Structure 1
């Protein structure tokens, strides 16, 4: 049932005026223009990438008295910082047991704690800076797509509460409707501390804060070369050359040939999202009675929520083994969404878009320095808080501050033989996981799988 390819056309599911731009961008203030097209000859800090990572790094360095320049190949914030689902979790995917077995009990616990720290920190940042971005602690309903998944999920939740003090409330299937208006799942777990925000408004707020701190941010200025010298870096861009004492690379899922060492260590994966046309109030109340953000236990995960104004459903996930176009992903996501919420078949989609996230081979974010260049990236699809937090820490590292140290600092940033940044292995892996998710759901519902 999950991840089944469909052949619905655009006209079947999309409004006549649908947009391939993110709903978030269309429902926020206009994008900030570039401050100037004239590059300075030299700066103390040059940041490559204008998303959450880059802007939070720039805020720190600018406030630390360093002249700071942020450059982006596209419009400011054009990447996943304005294209994500607006869901905020604790960001750390591996369990405490897995991390402890690999890195030791102390480091494992410290890594897990960074996820909680990042979640608390982003709320503090938003509050302190007065950023109007609809930040709310709505809680997450993490739904089990099979009875077996529910058993695993409840055991894991009890262990997290007991060993890490993470609040997690088990919700049996009989009580599921109080959290989520769907009968498809087999119960789940509520994480009441998880949060939501409006991604584009958050980004706009960060850009204002960075500029008010004295940083300069210029879009449509691709960085094409970074050359290290004896006293800093020569950075070549589409608009000219800049000398910089320090460079921070904050490109995450858009990391490319500019930094081959980093490109070999992150796996770019497209994540696809749709938004419905405005829905009736009573329907939204049935679907999201407590305004939870939601995700599920499918290996190829779905994530969904009500928009901040509770007028639309925003629904995301992976719809194909390889990358595809938003006019293809829209109808497929619509079909998946309607399996979860059959009532939505009476409504259409107004937006269909995608963004590129970055996974790593150890499923952990990484922050550090390579060949003199600072970096933070690899948030594995749940990086709203972690990208912001590690961007801030990267800025502190440039300033030489002790508080810039994190539990990620000493982790090896591994790659794989023959991997150059193009994930040739991803389509067969995604196809396998989609098939497995579908089979697990069919077994759970008593349906016999007729094909792979």
Structure 2
């Protein structure tokens, strides 16, 4: 049984994201303007990229955030970025026509290029790193499945995939926990806190207004052809409204959209600073790490290379972040037992947005344009979707967005409260345990 002693925590332990140490969220309580060309709801990667593109083209843009600016899912993520791998790895290839799937892959690959070009062009302080991601096989049987998936990834997305045997993986991960795996070169990461702050700064530089603690209560059309945005801080009249809230989509302002998105809580911990020689052993090359479990883990070094960050669900049921830290730490120690003598400095959680078919969606609903559904792969994709949604407003799209589809199916028996997540999580864990027992 896992120890519940507070000895595993540093004296300054925090239940806020490690990322906030370098780039904390902001409170901006300036008065709301009475009108805007475009109101963007959400100060995450999608909302800020939309605001940047709109302001760059002369639009009067107001970004509204229900809480502090940059306090939502975008700065609670692991900060990993990829191209089209998640569509294949997550199973989205099932049930989608080959033509549409090909277009989704193209958009996903474009998102990977977009975030790199944006960071480089604007000289954003985001700690961008492209070094690859390792997918470890939890069981011997799953190794062959990973190899097959690697072949599909290479064929469908064009990424470079290395098939790694168990006795070869020490150059990638300092652990014998996995039975081998695949290494995908076109994978990387950013510091999501710094990236969000850099986007906020760029949006303001271009003329956008960013306001915190302005939860939207309703969006209603008015006779002038625009929209009335009612917030807890007042009313704004706008010609266009963009809802880019992903895992934080509100059942009050956007009830129909909320019934199509499942917010799933993801938890992470950060270790205290580790000796450089230990970090070099844990993850040589500083790559991103994940595995083949249904209830998977994800891990990476901090961008400065001093700490290990580790993410997972703590169990079937959600819990507070400190309680989760005990359970997540045990999963981390199963892979790297040598970390038992080191303490946890941060534990936090955030919501990712899941959809019924594991793909993103864009379109019109609840009197606004929307783009949501990162399915745990949102850093590059949501940045791209925000940019592309802005293009739709501006009329500058060169081609239709693949995720903009006429039908976004509701999830049966779902009213916006994810009551079934513990059952799904329990089923995933049970199947993982059976797979391991039969290995």
Smaller-chain TM-score bracket: over 0.9
**2:252 aligned with 1:250:** no
Between stretches 219-228 and 246-255, larger displacement belongs to 219-228
Kindly indicate whether the alpha-carbon contact (under 8 Å) linking 1:176 and 1:187 is maintained by their aligned counterparts in 2: yes
Counterparts of residues 81-100 of structure 1 (less than 5 Å): 81-90=74-83, 93-95=86-88
Kindly indicate whether the alpha-carbon contact (under 8 Å) linking 1:145 and 1:297 is maintained by their aligned counterparts in 2: yes
Kindly indicate whether the alpha-carbon contact (under 8 Å) linking 2:388 and 2:397 is maintained by their aligned counterparts in 1: no
TM-score where L is the length of structure 1: 0.93
**2:155 aligned with 1:162:** yes
Post-superposition offset of 1:162: 3.2
Between stretches 371-380 and 399-408, larger displacement belongs to 399-408
Structure 2 segments unaligned to the other structure (5+ residues): none
Counterparts of residues 256-335 of structure 1 (less than 5 Å): 256-257=250-251, 258-335=253-330
Please name the residue that 1:3 is paired with: none
Closer/same/farther in 2, CA of residues 96 and 218 from structure 1, 3 Å limit: closer
Closer/same/farther in 2, CA of residues 298 and 53 from structure 1, 3 Å limit: same
Please name the residue that 1:211 is paired with: 204
Cα distance per residue 1:203-225 (max 9 Å; x no partner)? 00000111111100011111111
Kindly indicate whether the alpha-carbon contact (under 8 Å) linking 2:220 and 2:367 is maintained by their aligned counterparts in 1: no
2:384 aligns with one of 374, 380, 389 = 389
Between stretches 395-404 and 430-439, larger displacement belongs to 395-404
Cα distance per residue 1:146-166 (max 9 Å; x no partner)? 111110010121233234422
Kindly indicate whether the alpha-carbon contact (under 8 Å) linking 1:181 and 1:287 is maintained by their aligned counterparts in 2: yes
Please name the residue that 2:192 is paired with: 199
Between stretches 283-292 and 318-327, larger displacement belongs to 318-327
* Alpha-carbon distance in 2 for matches of 1:109, 1:171: 28
Structure 1 segments unaligned to the other structure (5+ residues): 1-5, 445-452
TM-score where L is the length of structure 2: 0.96
Post-superposition offset of 1:29: 3.9
Please name the residue that 2:47 is paired with: 54
Closer/same/farther in 2, CA of residues 411 and 438 from structure 1, 3 Å limit: farther
Query: Would you say how many aligned residue pairs link Structure 1 and Structure 2?
Result: 437
Please name the residue that 2:231 is paired with: 237
Secondary structure class of the residue paired with 2:286: coil
**2:215 aligned with 1:222:** yes
Cα distance per residue 1:98-131 (max 9 Å; x no partner)? 7666332222211122221111111001111110
Please name the residue that 1:359 is paired with: 354
**2:63 aligned with 1:70:** yes
2:140 aligns with one of 144, 147, 155 = 147
**2:357 aligned with 1:378:** no
Counterparts of residues 10-29 of structure 1 (less than 5 Å): 10-26=5-21, 28-29=22-23
Closer/same/farther in 2, CA of residues 411 and 170 from structure 1, 3 Å limit: farther
